[in-house]
Structure 1
């Protein structure tokens, strides 16, 4: 066993990230992804609207004994529900995006995720077999991680992607230095999404999102800005309070 292999094989006390598969199509792909997770001690599998339903016996057979991952897998109707409790999320994609989302390589991206584990649960998003993640799904993440693959043959299947990320997570996790928890817990993705929706609801009646053909992209870019700001929960609560006070539909309080 090489020194590098010993380092990856050694135990880690860092909680592993959730693995979120968005609309996976084949049970076999879910199973092989679960096997890759189990290889590196990653066990929280979350499925968003799997095409062939769940549970899936083909997934169990393809997992090659990773039954604990398959049995504990959770199914969600939407990606927002699947990541609602997470405070830091990586989206894996190889395609350039028309958004200002930060892109990192696996080593830097997983190092950031491991560091964020001190403050709350984390996760990694993997897209559909045929076309990956959509722009609005990538926008929900904290950062993008892209693999340095050969551009002449850049396609990776789900299990390969999960294996690469799980390996890098375990390698980096062993090097995490001890650190005190933050004074305030970070905002979850659900709380950041709520802040964005609240702000959009106030801006839409003012005609801010124009021209009409650009409205969706402008909303997504606004979400990216809010998503990348690193809010803690108290900051989000404070901003929501400010927005409530600015809402023209808010009933006036005594003394206003």
Structure 2
């Protein structure tokens, strides 16, 4: 899913002190599709070489970063703003966690409302006047005795929840999906595998004593049935059995003892399972 600058929240860092933290925050933003970074009175000025180095290929975020003289100016065009803080403030504002915030931000985006996330200084966060400018407080479920997070860490967590809220599946948006599998083996293919295996085991006198052959066969078949083999996996297993039998070919169908003829043979699959014979 691609995000646009108009749909994703703005990240505002208030008086950030270290360029490395700005760069790490930019990288966290890029990881989860946020692109609009705004700085309020950065201590070491802007641009900042240390921020660029720490951004680690999030150059598009760094290049578009804007600097403002006040929080009011930085959020002037936003319709809804979260103030991030872990401190207990004497302010009558609703407090939400990152999961709920992600959902609400998505809802605002669907209504074309531009939103923002306000982060405070490394040492002491946001002051009450700055929090008062926000609509709600966003806090993380941290351990109270150790509630302080690095700015980039906080940006990462909230950006992650924002992105995750945009997918229906709980683990949606992964950069790769499950590998394509061969179709499930048909019952006919499974029966041929069973018969092939059982005939090979008969040749090696595996089923002993003879009167226990029937329950042993049932148990073997139950093992393979639980695995839910694909057609390719069946072909691979039959190739393995034929190799263990010491034959350069394997029967395409096995009925009874494993005997092959020129009309009932197929090449072995390749080492990775190959194609059907």
TM-score by shorter chain over 0.5: yes
Structure 2 counterpart of 1:105, from 97, 103, 113: 97
- In the TM superposition, 1:22-33 aligns within 5 A as 22-33=14-25
Match of 1:136? 129
d(CA) in 1 for partners of 2:8, 2:151: 18
For the pair 1:62 / 2:54, whether they are aligned, the reply is yes
Q: 1:12, 1:173 within 8 Å by CA — same for their partners in 2?
A: no
Task: Please identify the structure whose Cα radius of gyration is greater.
Answer: 2
Q: 2:3, 2:33 within 8 Å by CA — same for their partners in 1?
A: no
Gaps of 5+ in 1: 1-9, 176-256
Taking a change above 3 Å as real, the CA distance of residues 174 and 11 of structure 1, as seen in their structure-2 partners, is: farther
Secondary structure of residue in 2 paired with 1:173: coil
The Cα RMSD (Å) is: 1.6
Secondary structure of residue in 1 paired with 2:137: strand
Secondary structure of residue in 2 paired with 1:112: helix
Structure 2 counterpart of 1:154, from 124, 128, 147: 147
Gaps of 5+ in 2: 169-277
Match of 2:108? 116
Which runs of at least 4 in structure 1 moved beyond 6 Å after TM superposition?
none
Cα distance, 1:12 vs structure 2:
5.2
Q: 2:101, 2:162 within 8 Å by CA — same for their partners in 1?
A: no
For the pair 1:164 / 2:157, whether they are aligned, the reply is yes
- In the TM superposition, 1:177-192 aligns within 5 A as none
- CA displacement, residues 135-164 of structure 1 (integer Å, 9 cap, x when unaligned): 010111111011001122222100000000
